[in-house]
């Protein structure tokens, strides 16, 4: 059982005030791009996880847990518990999504494991677990996991886990600049809170950008580039100042828009079309401002059996 699952970039990430439960209220416009991890689920005596870079990918998998705390293992354990079966599966993960890169790679693997294990253990004729059940398990695993099941382009509210598909026309072409070493998502949120407290500004209630929605609905890459916005970007730049150079290089090289992806440190650049993306990728690579440069397009579907 093999499942392919995409990375995400946040087209808009509006971060509201800190809630009593420690989360922030978000408006999170997710967009799934054609950079895929693959999770293979093979029956085994007990739960095992292995992680390796996907062929031709330059992802470093150092530090990704291979025990019960791997998010894919947690997903398999949840599915097994719901179906009353032992979690007897070997999960073989091939990563092309940068680790701790702000592209939700761990969440993607969790979503892929949900789909693969449900397929492995559930009744094919009359499944116990519906699509909605999987979405509920996904939300228990993490705020970004439901979107990795759904894919496409979607607006997430709450912690980002309550999703509504967004109307989007056409294909958008992206270039991603990865950085050596990741950034911890909780550390970036904490830095965002710290900066806001130091400024003495209350966080505004997060709202969906109408300009962004209009650009998506009409397939307007220029409009989308101008509307990209990430409230976590100042915090990511404070923790990793070298990203300023990366973003500036992309802008100087003619990207229609640029931003830090999620909590970073991966930077995303929007191109006008496939040809422009190829040029931009080559130029960014030449500028020496990234550990690696990859192209991808979106939107693409969520976790899919292959």
Is 48 in contact with 90 (CB distance < 8 Å)?
yes
C-alpha 32/C-alpha 302 separation (Å) is 7
Q: Active-site residue among 37, 109, 122, 144? A: 144
- Least Å distance, CB 130 to ligand ATP, is 25
List strand residue ranges (DSSP E) for 207-291, in order: 229-230, 257-260, 267-271
Q: Is 271 annotated in some ligand binding site?
A: no
- Binding site annotation covers 9? no
Burial profile 167-182: b = 16 or more Cβ within 10 angstroms, e = fewer: ebeeebbbbbbbbeeb
Nearer to ligand ATP (CB atom), residue 258 or residue 263: 263
Taking the complex as a whole, the smallest distance from the CB of residue 306 to ligand ATP amounts, in Å, to 18
Token reading at 206 = 């997060």
Closest CA to 180 of 32, 283, 293: 293
174 φ, ψ (degrees, to nearest 5) = -120, 155
| CB half-sphere exposure, 129, CA atoms < 13 A | 22
Residue with Cβ nearer ligand ATP (98 or 225): 98
Tell me whether residue 101 is annotated as binding.
Answer: yes
8 classed as catalytic? yes
Which CB, 151 or 221, lies closer to ligand ATP? 151
Residue nearer to ligand ATP on the CB measure, 50 or 273: 50
- Location of structure tokens 């970039």: 9
Q: Of the residues 8, 109, 122, 231, which is catalytic?
A: 8
CA distance 113 to 87: 11
Q: How far apart are CA 270 and CA 284, in angstroms?
A: 13
Q: Is 100 annotated as a binding residue?
A: yes
Say whether 105 counts as a known binding-site residue.
yes
**Least Å from the CB of residue 74 to ligand ATP:** 8
Tokens read off for 116: 């693969």
Nearest CB to ligand ATP, comparing residues 174 and 253: 174
The reply to whether 107 sits in an annotated binding site is: yes
Nearest distance from residue 128's CB to ligand ATP, in Å?
Answer: 25
Distance of closest approach, residue 16 Cβ to ligand ATP, in angstroms: 17
Residue nearest to ligand ATP (CB): 106
Contacts with ligand ATP, residue ranges (CB under 6 A): 63-65, 70-72, 93, 99-107, 109, 144, 182, 185, 262-263
Binding residues, by number, are 98-108
Binding residues for ATP, by number, are 98-108
* Residues with catalytic function: 8, 144
């Amino acid at each position: 059982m093999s499942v392919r699952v995409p990375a995400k970039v946040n087209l808009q990430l509006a971060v509201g005030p800190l809630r009593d439960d420690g989360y922030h209220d978000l408006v999170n416009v997710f967009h799934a791009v054609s950079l895929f991890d693959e999770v293979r689920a093979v029956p085994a005596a007990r739960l095992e996880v292995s992680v390796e870079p996907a062929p031709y990918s330059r992802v470093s998998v150092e530090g990704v847990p291979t025990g019960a705390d791997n998010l894919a293992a947690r997903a398999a354990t949840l599915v097994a518990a719901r179906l009353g079966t032992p979690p007897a599966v070997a999960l073989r993960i091939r990563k092309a999504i940068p680790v701790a890169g702000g592209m939700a790679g761990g969440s993607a693997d969790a979503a892929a494991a949900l789909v693969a294990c449900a397929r492995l253990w559930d009744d094919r004729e009359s499944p116990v677990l519906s699509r909605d059940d999987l979405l509920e398990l996904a939300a228990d695993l993490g705020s970004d996991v439901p979107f990795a099941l759904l894919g496409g382009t979607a607006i997430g509210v709450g912690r980002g886990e309550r999703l509504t598909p967004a109307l989007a026309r056409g294909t958008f072409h992206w270039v991603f600049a990865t950085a050596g070493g990741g950034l911890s998502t909780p550390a970036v949120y904490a830095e965002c809170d710290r900066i806001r407290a130091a400024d003495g500004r209350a966080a505004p209630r997060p709202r969906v950008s109408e300009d962004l929605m209009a650009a998506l609905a009409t397939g307007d890459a220029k409009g989308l580039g101008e509307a990209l916005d990430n409230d976590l970007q100042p915090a990511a730049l404070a923790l990793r100042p070298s990203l300023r150079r990366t973003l500036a290089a992309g802008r100087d090289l003619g990207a229609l828009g640029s931003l830090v992806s999620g909590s970073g440190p991966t930077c995303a650049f929007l191109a006008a079309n496939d040809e422009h993306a190829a040029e931009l990728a080559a130029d960014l690579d030449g500028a020496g401002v990234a550990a690696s440069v990859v192209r991808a397009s979106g939107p693409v579907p969520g976790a899919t059996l292959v």
